Amino acid sequence: MFANAFSKHQKRERCLIYQDNTKKLYWDIYVTVLLLFIVNVMPYHIAFKIGSPRWRMVYNLIDLFFLIDLIMVFFTTLPETERSQEITDRRKIVLNYLTTWFMIDFCSIMPFDTVMTSYTLGKLTICETEKCDTGDCGSGVNVLLRAPKITKVLRGLRLLRLVKVFKLMK
């Protein structure tokens, strides 16, 4: 399956991740599994106000993997199309990513919920109870603190980008 793809590239540039790289394929599958987990679990956690230090650690770890993936995309060649061969020009790769999926990927890994909660709880006095640590004050402010978590659902859009994984597997 990949033998023909290797013969296409006589000379490979250093520091690029090629589309036919099997490690890249496994990474894409791993990221897809993480995406499926987030897309299924995050709405439940948002709706039912489930939050604990353990879950926050899990989400932060997953965010770290998505950050690594975001960085890797800048070094990953663009797949060949019917009109062109695999694109290895770094400038074209970066421009393509910045003009297509970068903002969605960036917004999906930014910890807006953590920043908003820290800022709101650190700078403002929302309520006088001990539940303020969790942002559960019994007021409408809690809804505002949970709203930035919705950006995490943007990760579901990344599944569209990972359709290429399944194309490579064929």
In the chain, pLDDT over 90 holds for what percent of residues? 27
pLDDT band at 164 (very low <50, low <70, confident <90, very high): low
- Poorest-pLDDT segment among 46-50, 59-63, 96-100: 46-50
Contact criterion met (CB below 8 Å) for 47 and 152: no
Instruction: Check residue 84 and give its pLDDT.
Output: 83
**Confidence category of residue 126, pLDDT binned at 50, 70, 90:** very low
Say if residues 35 and 155 touch (Cβ distance below 8 Å): yes
How high is the pLDDT of residue 135?
46
Q: Average pLDDT in the 114-121 region?
A: 61
Instruction: Provide the pLDDT for residue 74.
Output: 96
Amino acid identity, residue 149? K
Higher pLDDT, 129 or 37: 37
Tell me the average pLDDT of the chain.
75
Give the domain ranges of the chain. 14-110+150-169
Q: What Cα–Cα distance (Å) separates residue 94 from each residue in 9, 74, 81, 84, 102? A: 21, 6, 18, 17, 10
